[in-house]
Structure 1
């Protein structure tokens, strides 16, 4: 849904399908309200709650049974054979490179020499002052 105000009306004065015209009402330079009128005949609506808006009928063609399940594009590990996940894949802002074949590649390329990257052990980040103290010894 959008936050736009509804503008289509059926005017009770002229009976036509028309658009609602909203104009600001000012007292001096201060906005005090809004005047709503029919854009076709100029009929002014005094009560905003009683404006006969035209209901948008949405057809009920489909129900939940008609929805398809999410398509499976790749098998479980099929997308893991892409260059993007290879140990030899090197990327920088200017080029994507295969270090094994010494050529430019795309992340979605595949090759028969795919190698899984070796998992490295991540050490927890330490405070920079702790690292400095380790290098220089305890200085007080």
Structure 2
């Protein structure tokens, strides 16, 4: 049995479905049980889910075949992005930006700006 399965409840006599509910002991979760959605009658308990280790996608056979196809040996190395100082004039890094959840404003020009806009009079923040 699993949550969402059809269920004929012996207590209320209705054809209904099962819902999953957590069993708590104070603030500690003890497990999960299945209950009738109509009356709440206990139908059974769920086995705890076994969490296995996540497989590393770079260590699989498919990843090895892909590496051989491309002829590259170093998939662990990350590329370096070389950008000059003149390319990093975004409003998000500017001293004049006033960030706000609804409207980002530029103090210098007194207008709404997008954080990824280019600033003509960029002044770097002191971070």
Q: TM-score, normalised by structure 1?
A: 0.35
Greater C-alpha Rg: 1
